[in-house]
Structure 1
Amino acid sequence: MTSVCIPEIDMQDFERQSEKLIAACEEWGCFRIINHGIPISLMSEIKSVAQSLFDLPVEIKQRNADVVAGKAYSPRDMVNPLLEGLGIYDMASPGAVHKFCDQLNATPQQRETTLRYSHAVHELAQDIGQKLVESMGLGNELFKGWPRQFRLNKYHFTPQTIESNGSLMHTDVGFLTILQDDEIVSGLKVVDKKSGGLVPIHPMPSTLFVNIGDIGTVPGME
């Protein structure tokens, strides 16, 4: 199956791309961002931290509990037998990030990396959201007080399951999802509105993939 070219948005040249951003959201509901300002080294470091956290014993990962059901540790189950996740309900809160690290006995280096990465992604989400609402002529207080969930996901693929679905087909429930691709296993697919079929999206190193969630597609949202 041939992959498609998702629109790219240059965060350092946004003034000339606001129309391109709106078109990407309307046509695809997603886009890639380049020149986003998050160091490649930090993107690599958080992947190493994630791998080491998923390697922890199950009884330690189960300590990652939060106030909202389904927003913390999620083991593999019959619905998603290949998907395992860890999470923080609001990465904008340093206290929540520290609690997450305490739950998993994170090392000082793991804690520092998690804090830096969550802060960087939070700032980027604010920037993207602000640019998006400005392009649509909406108020600049739209995101005030909204939690910013942080998820680490691991797909337990084997040579026998490499063609299987990593998770059920779904939409994201929030406003924006900022995804760092796995450069090793390409599995992301999106719906082509023209054909109605799923098309693969191949990873692009050093970029980030942004998806518009359910809140961002509510008709008449003001």
Structure 2
Amino acid sequence: MNNLDSYPPPFRPQNNQTHNPDPYNPSSDPNEYPDPVPIIDLRCLKRNPDEQKKLEEACKDWGLFRLANHDIPLNLLNQLQDLARDLFSISFESKQALTSDSPVSYFWGTAALTPKGTALARGPQSINWLEGFNIPLSQLSGFDHQVPLLDSFRVLLEEYGNHLSRIARTLYETMAKNLDLDPETSKSFLSEETGIFRVYRYPANPNADAALGMEVHTDSSVLSILHQNDGVNGLEVLRDDQWQTVKSIPNSLIVNLGDMMQAISDDTFKSVKQSEG
């Protein structure tokens, strides 16, 4: 199969355009930018008041931080990345058919929660230059076990989802403590049943000025936990009216605070503004 067949039709290069055959190749040297993003050590968080204070400051000043020592096996992250690459590599039509009767939804040209027609109606410059899969973690049992690729993905996501739940609970409990929230009441704000796994691909764009990978936005969630593709710098966040590149550093995660966390904290913590691609 021609690799271009895997792209949604509007993302395929025209006659006189060149194409990068591997959209996962880094677009820049990962060592080109400094990394000012605060680092939180998850293993130290529960027992170390200094680490808890660092988390509070990161939530107030950045709305984002890098998570070290998260204890998700590197092999699991690599397997998920490989399977995601396999999923994106099948034809566009196959991706649509694969998810037609599944809890998995496939989207392109717009973020997962934005109606596709809204962006496309505004013209090509409003299209988000991305495609992705949206997977509610509570519905993993609804995967089609007869489709090997999806079933393999389901098995890995069940393990990955357990790790994400562990990480989210640990972080949120510390945040709630820093905010002096009532422990029992605040538990209701973070539900594992609402967890969603999203995986994105940003196709090579021959005209970078024509469209964004993902337009400037804040997340609506309490927390977003991001595993970046190793060596690819695409995420930028707005801090002090300056856009800063968030480096992709192997075996670390990026945690974003969303609009719900800002609301829960009564604006003490901030929902970070970001763009991608």
Instruction: Mark the runs of 5 or more structure 2 residues left unpaired by the alignment.
Output: 1-31, 110-119, 268-277
Number of residue equivalences: 214
Note the 1:10-49 alignment, pairs <5 A: 10-14=41-45, 15-16=47-48, 17-49=51-83
Note the 1:72-221 alignment, pairs <5 A: 72-76=105-109, 78=124, 79-89=126-136, 91=137, 93=138, 96-100=139-143, 102=145, 106=149, 108-140=151-183, 141-143=187-189, 145=191, 147-158=194-205, 161=208, 165-193=212-240, 196-218=241-263, 220=266
Alpha-carbon distance, 1:169 to partner? 0.7
Residue identity in the other structure for 2:226 = L
> Secondary structure of 1:59's partner?
helix
In structure 2, distance between residues paired with 1:64 and 1:46: 18
TM-score between the two structures when normalised by the length of structure 1? 0.83
> Secondary structure of 1:98's partner?
helix
**C-alpha distance 182-143 of structure 1, shift in aligned 2 (>3 A):** same
Alpha-carbon distance, 1:128 to partner? 1.7
Alpha-carbon distance, 1:159 to partner? 6.3
Deviations 1:92-131 (A, max 9, x none): x2xx113245596535533322222222222222222222
Deviations 1:43-73 (A, max 9, x none): 11111111111123333423536999xx932
Q: Is the 8 A contact 2:128 2:215 kept in 1?
A: no
Q: Is the 8 A contact 1:60 1:103 kept in 2?
A: no
> Secondary structure of 2:201's partner?
strand
In structure 2, distance between residues paired with 1:178 and 1:22: 17
Alpha-carbon distance, 1:80 to partner? 3.4
Residue identity in the other structure for 2:37 = I
Instruction: Supply the RMSD in Å over aligned alpha carbons.
Output: 3.0
Alpha-carbon distance, 1:133 to partner? 1.4
In structure 2, distance between residues paired with 1:144 and 1:215: 10
Deviations 1:164-191 (A, max 9, x none): 6311011001010000012232111101
Residue identity in the other structure for 2:152 = Q
In structure 1, distance between residues paired with 2:224 and 2:57: 18
Moved more, 109-118 or 159-168: 159-168
Q: Which residue does 2:84 correspond to in 1?
A: 50
**C-alpha distance 163-29 of structure 1, shift in aligned 2 (>3 A):** farther
Q: Which residue does 2:275 correspond to in 1?
A: none
Please state which structure has a larger fraction of its residues in helix: 2
**C-alpha distance 61-118 of structure 1, shift in aligned 2 (>3 A):** farther
